[in-house]
Amino acid sequence: FDVVLVDAPCSATGTLAKHPDVLISFHPDQLPTIVRQQSALLRAAASAAAEDGVLLYSTCSVLRAENEAVVQAFLDEQAGQWQLDQAESFVPDNLNEGFYIARLLRSHSGHTTHSGL
């Protein structure tokens, strides 16, 4: 696939303003399991991406452990096969929920390819 989107299951901490029940349903001890699942999904998505593919990773979480840390661990594990092109964290406000999105590009011989996105 030219572009693969991982909208990973997460703690939903970015949705607290609209869904305060997240405080009841999410327990911090669940985080390691959630992060393992997110990491596995990101690896699987990467294997489905084309040679010059783009990988998008997104959560509705504001926790670094589910966002930047998952992406960095993936990049470290992939040993230069993927490169972070852009990442944004959005904090919840009156109009929007909080979320994170990262765009990863496959790297080839130290050069990053772009698919026109």
Query: CA 79 from chain center: how many Å?
Result: 18
| pLDDT string in tens for the chain (117-residue length) | 999 999 999 999 999 888 889 888 889 999 999 999 999 999 999 999 999 999 999 999 999 999 999 999 999 999 899 999 999 999 998 889 999 999 999 987 544 445 444
3-state secondary structure of 103: strand
Q: Is residue 112 part of a domain?
A: no
Residue 115 lies in a domain: no
Residue at 83 is within a domain: yes
Q: Is residue 113 part of a domain?
A: no
| Domains identified in the chain, total number | 1
Cβ contact 10:66 at 8 Å: yes
Task: Count the residues in the chain.
Answer: 117
Read off the CATH number of the domain in which 16 is found: 3.40.50.150
**Neighbour count for residue 94 (Cβ, 10 Å):** 5
Taking the whole predicted model, whether its pTM rises above 0.75 is answered as yes
Gap between the Cα atoms of 19 and 49, Å rounded: 33
Residue 92 lies in a domain: yes
Domain residues for 9? 3-107
Query: Is residue 98 included in any domain, yes or no?
Result: yes
Q: Which residues are catalytic?
A: 60
